């Protein structure tokens, strides 16, 4: 009879996170009520909470959030489709590495937001320019991590698979992909963070009609600081939710299941 592993909820991690968040909120509240700045510029927490409640009740915030998320998903999807094959090719072919690595070294350090004015000139104001910013922000990290992962694969695995008669397809699915997956997941996490930053900045600068960045931009025009802070709260919560509900389970379903990494404990 097999015994099921008991799941232990990470209470310690949760409490540590709540403790850090509580300290930050207390510091903000003290600063907001200190009188150093007008409360129109640094609103107290309750004012931000009430504004967030009004935004949720109004319902338009859900449409803005959906549009922003769609831009991120499209940009990341395109980046993934380009970066993974490119990184695999660079890791397995010296010619591909020599051809692509200089371009990667030149373009990767350039901030994605520096391209926004050019993207607006080339593609106009709206979705395409913003999605291009997301692609630029995420594609190089994914490519670099995939390239690094492909180069780091243990040669014993590839030689053993070759001796056992594995063809190129089997080599990719059973050796290359599991071997690079820890690096790909790490790159995906970093790329999502960069893409999430880029899409908000792109919406601020490219001035589309919808998006969380558009809310912040419009609120700045009317000095609605509580609206800007409420939008930032939503942006942060979405980032945490995607990390905990998608990226972390994806890691558990792939690299931990394959034995490429140890599961995290409390």
Q: In Å, how far are 155, 176, 223 from 170, measured between CA atoms? A: 16, 9, 59
Spans of all domains in the chain: 58-256
Higher pLDDT, 15 or 94: 94
In tens, the pLDDT along 163-206 reads: 676 666 767 777 777 778 888 888 888 888 888 888 888 888 77
pLDDT at 168: 67
d(CA 131, CA 127): 6
CB atoms within 10 A of CB 181: 20
Looking at domain 58-256, does it have CATH number 1.10.3720.10?
yes
- pLDDT above 50: residue 4: no
pLDDT at 149: 85
Question: Contact 72/195 with Cβ under 8 angstroms?
Answer: yes
pLDDT at 1: 42
Average pLDDT over residues 58-75: 89
Task: Select, from the ranges 67-71, 159-163, 182-186, the one with the highest average predicted confidence (pLDDT).
Answer: 67-71
- Take residue 164 and report the two structure tokens written for it: 């056992």
C-alpha torsion 185→187→191→194, nearest 10: 120
CB atoms within 10 A of CB 91: 21
C-alpha torsion 179→182→184→186, nearest 10: -160
Q: Which of 131, 13, 11, 156 is nearest to 77 (CA)?
A: 131
d(CA 39, CA 36): 9
Please name the residues in contact with 8: beta carbons below 8 A apart, sequence gap of 6 or more: 266
DSSP 114: G
What's the pLDDT band for 255 if we cut at 50, 70, 90? low
d(CA 49, CA 46): 5
d(CA 172, CA 180): 10
Higher pLDDT, 138 or 260: 138
Q: What are phi and psi of 7, to 5 degrees?
A: -85, 125
In tens, the pLDDT along 105-152 reads: 888 888 888 888 888 888 888 788 889 999 999 999 999 999 988 887
In tens, the pLDDT along 10-34 reads: 667 667 767 777 888 888 888 888 8
pLDDT at 257: 59
d(CA 191, CA 76): 8
Higher pLDDT, 136 or 1: 136
CA 57-63-65 angle, to 5 degrees, is 95
d(CA 28, CA 45): 8
- pLDDT above 50: residue 2: no
């Amino acid at each position: 009879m097999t015994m099921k592993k008991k799941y232990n909820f990470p209470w310690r991690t949760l409490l540590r996170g709540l403790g850090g968040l509580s300290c930050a909120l207390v510091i903000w509240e003290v600063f907001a009520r200190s009188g150093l700045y007008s409360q129109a510029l640094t609103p107290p927490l309750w004012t931000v909470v009430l504004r967030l409640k009004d935004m949720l009740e109004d319902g338009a915030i859900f449409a803005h959030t959906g549009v922003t998320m769609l831009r991120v998903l499209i940009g990341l999807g395109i980046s993934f489709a380009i970066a993974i094959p490119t990184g695999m090719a660079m890791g397995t072919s010296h010619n591909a590495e020599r051809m692509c690595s200089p371009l990667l070294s030149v373009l990767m350090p350039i901030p994605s937001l520096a391209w926004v004015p050019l993207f607006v000139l080339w593609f106009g104001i709206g979705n395409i320019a913003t999605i291009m910013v997301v692609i630029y922000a995420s594609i190089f990290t994914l490519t670099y991590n995939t390239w690094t992962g492909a180069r780091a694969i243990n040669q014993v695995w590839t030689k053993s698979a070759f001796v056992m008669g594995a063809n190129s397809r089997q080599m990719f699915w059973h050796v290359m992909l599991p071997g690079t997956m820890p690096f790909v997941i790490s790159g995906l996490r970093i790329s999502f963070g960069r893409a999430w930053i880029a899409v908000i900045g792109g919406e601020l600068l490219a001035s589309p009609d919808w998006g969380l960045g558009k809310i912040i931009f419009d609120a700045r025009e009317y000095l609605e600081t509580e609206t800007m802070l409420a939008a930032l709260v939503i942006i942060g919560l979405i980032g945490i939710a995607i990390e905990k509900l998608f990226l972390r389970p994806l890691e558990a379903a792939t690299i931990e299941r394959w034995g490429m990494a140890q599961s995290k404990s409390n």
